[in-house]
Amino acid sequence: QVELVESGGGTVQAGGSLRLSCVAPGRSISSYVMAWFRQSPGKEREFVSMIGRDGSTIRYTASVKGRFTISRDNAKKTVYLQMNSLKPEDTAVYYCAAGLGFDKAKLGYWGQGTQVTVSS
The whole-angstrom separation of Cα 58 and Cα 53 is 10
pLDDT by residue for the chain (120 residues), tens only, comes to: 899 999 999 999 999 999 999 999 988 999 999 999 999 999 999 999 999 999 999 999 999 999 999 999 999 999 999 999 999 999 999 999 999 988 888 899 999 999 999 999
State the number of CA atoms in the 13 A half-sphere of 94 facing the CB: 30
Residue 95's DSSP bridge partners are 37
User: Does residue 51 contact residue 72 with C-beta atoms inside 8 Å?
Assistant: yes
Please state the φ and ψ torsions of residue 89, each to the nearest 5 degrees: -75, -5
The whole-angstrom separation of Cα 98 and Cα 2 is 8
